[in-house]
Amino acid sequence: MLRTTRTIASSLAVLLVAGAMAPAAANAWQMGNKTNPDTSATQTQKKLISVQVYNKGQTSEDLKVEGNVYTVPAHQTLTIKAPLGTAVYVDSTGGEYQKGEVLFTFMPAMKDATVKFN
C-alpha cells in the first residue's frame, strides 16, 4: 500500500512539474509554421477605395491601373477599386490626354466619387 501511494505521489509530482514548465517552454520555442509566410495576406489589408470614372468623350478610352488596362466606353461609367495613392494613367492615344499621362491618383477624399474626363 505504501508503495502504491509513493508511486501515485511521484507521478503527480512529475505531472505538476511538467505542467509548470510547459508554458515557459512553449514561449521559448520558435514559431516555425505557426506564422503566416504568405505576404498577400498583408497586401489585402491595404485600404481600397472605389471611384467611378465617367468618359464624357465621343470615343472609348483605355485607363491603366496597377498594370491592368480598363476600357471606358464613350458616355459610360466604370467603377475602379484600388489602394490609396494608386495612379490612374491614360493608356490610349487620341482625345485630350496623351498615353502615359496621369489622369488622377486615388486619395481618401475621392471615396465613392465620380471622376469625369474628356
Percent of the chain residues past pLDDT 90, beyond the cut: 50
User: Cell 466604370 maps to which residue?
Assistant: 78
User: What's the domain count of the chain?
Assistant: 2
pLDDT tens sequence across 47-99: 899 999 999 999 999 999 999 999 999 999 999 999 999 999 999 987 788 99
The domain that contains 86 carries what CATH number?
2.60.40.780
- Rounded distance between C-alpha atoms, residue 14 and residue 48, angstroms: 55
Residue type, 72: V
User: 64 and 91 in contact (C-beta within 8 Å)?
Assistant: yes
* Residue 29 pLDDT greater than 60, yes or no: no
The answer as to whether 40 is a domain residue is no
- Rounded distance between C-alpha atoms, residue 76 and residue 54, angstroms: 6
| pLDDT attached to residue 16 | 61
| pLDDT attached to residue 94 | 74
> Residue 29 belongs to what domain range?
2-34
Considering the domain architecture, whether residues 53 and 104 belong to the same structural domain is answered as yes
User: Cell 469625369 maps to which residue?
Assistant: 116
The answer as to whether 62 is a domain residue is yes
- Rounded distance between C-alpha atoms, residue 39 and residue 44, angstroms: 9
| pLDDT attached to residue 36 | 56
| pLDDT attached to residue 62 | 94
Comparison of pLDDT for 46 and 101, the residue scoring more: 101
User: 80 and 50 in contact (C-beta within 8 Å)?
Assistant: yes
Model pTM? 0.59
The answer as to whether 93 is a domain residue is yes
